[in-house]
């Protein structure tokens, strides 16, 4: 009997969650290599993904719905699960979680997890807003917002550059999601730019600065250069190198944790036919 797509998706989700709960060392067989979920495992271990999955609710989870990713190919799907209180009752929004899966070599694997319904991905900015205004935000929201203590107890190895910027960004209050995006940016740049370097601190500072610009933070190049003990001009040159190889743009979906751009930006991009390759150092008008 041929397995349907929804059956294959649901089987992968169940195997993935159960492997995390068991702390199964083979959990990565259900994860897309190099994905958000994979880097979370590298940095923070299974507990980070269990927190985003809301495993702390301690209930049985059920499949609620699945659907395609807007504007993406057939190789991507989203699956929403719920941790309902009782059978027959629909889970509330706070009891819902979405997993994004990608078909890799004919098999579905988990690429990302966010603690919200399928049609309302929770961004870092939204999580910070919730964490700031609610008396007691749920653990998944606090983790996404970077407001809960997390330890770097993952099973992946970090190189000399990653070790520096991961610790530096953590000390500066970046969220785990943003640090994951920073690791992805650096690993993509290693693959595409093939940099030869003798000072890991210079590239660590450059990645840190790039994430500040992508997050629209006020940190200055001079301040970040001083933090890592490097020359600000050299940092600027390395950033230009990264921009050239990775074609970085504001609201870059690969590396920014801001979520989709404001409508004013979308209209401009539609008019030009593509996202503007604006230098990150250029002042940003977010629009209304």
80-96 per-position pLDDT tens digit: 999 987 666 788 889 99
pLDDT grade, residue 281 (50/70/90)? low
CATH of the domain at 44: 3.10.450
What is the pLDDT, as a whole number, of residue 131?
A: 87
Q: CB-based burial of residue 14 (10 Å sphere; 0-12 exposed, 13-18 middle, 19+ buried)?
A: middle
Looking at the fold, whether 26 and 132 belong to one and the same domain comes out as: yes
Q: Establish if 203 belongs to a structural domain.
A: yes
Q: How far apart are CA 239 and CA 281, in angstroms?
A: 9
Q: Establish if 284 belongs to a structural domain.
A: no
Q: Which of 55-59, 203-207, 211-215, 271-275 has the highest mean pLDDT?
A: 203-207
Q: Establish if 113 belongs to a structural domain.
A: yes
Q: From start to end of the chain, where are the E strands?
A: 62-68, 76-82, 96-104, 107-114
Q: Establish if 282 belongs to a structural domain.
A: no
C-beta neighbour count of 82 within 10 angstroms: 23
Looking at the fold, whether 130 and 15 belong to one and the same domain comes out as: yes
Q: Which two tokens stand for residue 277?
A: 């390759």
Instruction: Inform me whether the pLDDT recorded for 192 exceeds 70.
Output: yes
Q: Where among 111, 145, 179 does a domain terminate?
A: 145
Looking at the fold, whether 139 and 225 belong to one and the same domain comes out as: no
pLDDT grade, residue 287 (50/70/90)? very low
Looking at the fold, whether 127 and 75 belong to one and the same domain comes out as: yes
- Alpha helices (H) along 24-64: 36-44, 46-52
What's the mean pLDDT in 104-129? Answer: 92
Q: Which two tokens stand for residue 223?
A: 């301040």
Looking at the fold, whether 139 and 255 belong to one and the same domain comes out as: no
Instruction: Inform me whether the pLDDT recorded for 176 exceeds 60.
Output: yes
Looking at the fold, whether 122 and 166 belong to one and the same domain comes out as: no
For 160-170, the pLDDT digits (tens) are 999 999 999 99
pLDDT grade, residue 1 (50/70/90)? very low
Query: Between these two residues, 143 and 150, which has the higher pLDDT value?
Result: 143
What is the pLDDT, as a whole number, of residue 150?
A: 74
Q: How far apart are CA 11 and CA 76, in angstroms?
A: 16
Poorest-confidence range of 30-39, 169-178, 243-252?
243-252
- Choose among 68, 93, 70: nearest CA to 78: 68
Poorest-confidence range of 134-148, 182-196, 238-252?
134-148
Q: Establish if 29 belongs to a structural domain.
A: yes
Instruction: Print the domain residue range for 65.
Output: 5-145
8 Å CB contact between 24 and 34: no
Q: How far apart are CA 258 and CA 270, in angstroms?
A: 19
Q: Establish if 277 belongs to a structural domain.
A: no
What is the pLDDT, as a whole number, of residue 88?
A: 67
Looking at the fold, whether 84 and 179 belong to one and the same domain comes out as: no
Looking at the fold, whether 89 and 170 belong to one and the same domain comes out as: no
Looking at the fold, whether 131 and 67 belong to one and the same domain comes out as: yes
For 249-268, the pLDDT digits (tens) are 888 889 988 877 777 766 66
What's the mean pLDDT in 102-112? Answer: 95
Q: Could you tell me the pTM of the whole model?
A: 0.87
Instruction: Inform me whether the pLDDT recorded for 230 exceeds 80.
Output: yes
Q: Establish if 168 belongs to a structural domain.
A: yes
Q: Which two tokens stand for residue 282?
A: 């250029």
3-class secondary structure, 251: coil
What is the pLDDT, as a whole number, of residue 180?
A: 96
Looking at the fold, whether 193 and 235 belong to one and the same domain comes out as: yes
pLDDT grade, residue 73 (50/70/90)? confident
CATH of the domain at 175: 1.10.472.10
Q: How far apart are CA 41 and CA 55, in angstroms?
A: 16
Q: What percent of the chain has pLDDT over 70?
A: 88
- Choose among 233, 169, 227, 183: nearest CA to 201: 227
Q: Establish if 96 belongs to a structural domain.
A: yes
8 Å CB contact between 84 and 62: yes
What is the pLDDT, as a whole number, of residue 134?
A: 61
Q: Which two tokens stand for residue 241?
A: 């190198």
3-class secondary structure, 74: coil
What is the pLDDT, as a whole number, of residue 266?
A: 67
Q: Which of 43-52, 143-152, 278-287 has the highest mean pLDDT?
A: 43-52
Poorest-confidence range of 26-35, 80-89, 265-274?
265-274
**Residue 45: CA atoms inside 13 Å, Cβ hemisphere, count?**
11
Enclosing H/E stretch for 221: helix 221-228
Looking at the fold, whether 15 and 135 belong to one and the same domain comes out as: yes
Looking at the fold, whether 74 and 205 belong to one and the same domain comes out as: no
Q: How many distinct structural domains can be found in the chain?
A: 2
Q: How far apart are CA 94 and CA 115, in angstroms?
A: 8
What is the pLDDT, as a whole number, of residue 284?
A: 52
Q: How far apart are CA 88 and CA 57, in angstroms?
A: 17
């Amino acid at each position: 009997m041929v397995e349907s797509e929804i059956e294959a998706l649901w089987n992968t989700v169940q195997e993935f969650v159960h492997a995390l709960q068991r702390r199964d060392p083979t959990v990565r067989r259900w994860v897309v290599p190099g994905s958000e979920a994979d880097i979370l495992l590298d940095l923070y271990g299974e507990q980070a993904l269990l927190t985003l999955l809301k495993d702390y609710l301690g209930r049985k989870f059920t499949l609620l719905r699945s659907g395609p990713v807007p504007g993406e190919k057939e190789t991507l799907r989203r699956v929403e699960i719920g941790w309902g209180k009782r059978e027959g009752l629909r889970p509330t929004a706070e009891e819902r979680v979405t997993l994004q899966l990608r078909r890799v070599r004919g098999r579905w694997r988990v690429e990302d997890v966010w603690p919200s319904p399928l049609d309302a991905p929770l961004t870092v900015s939204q999580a910070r807003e919730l964490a700031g205004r609610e008396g007691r935000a749920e653990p998944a929201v606090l983790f996404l917002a970077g407001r809960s203590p997390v330890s770097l107890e993952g099973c992946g190895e970090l190189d000399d550059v990653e070790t520096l910027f991961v610790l530096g960004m953590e000390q500066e209050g970046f969220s785990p999601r943003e640090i994951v995006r920073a690791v992805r940016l650096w690993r993509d740049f290693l693959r595409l730019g093939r940099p030869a370097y003798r000072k890991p601190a210079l590239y660590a500072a450059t990645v840190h600065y790039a994430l500040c610009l992508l997050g629209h933070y006020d940190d200055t190049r001079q301040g970040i250069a001083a933090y890592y003990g490097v020359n600000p001009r050299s940092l600027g040159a390395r950033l230009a190198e990264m921009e050239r190889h990775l074609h970085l743009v504001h609201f870059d979906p690969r590396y920014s944790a801001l979520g989709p751009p404001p409508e004013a930006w979308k209209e401009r991009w539609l008019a030009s036919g593509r996202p503007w390759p604006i230098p990150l150092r250029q002042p940003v008008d977010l629009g209304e």
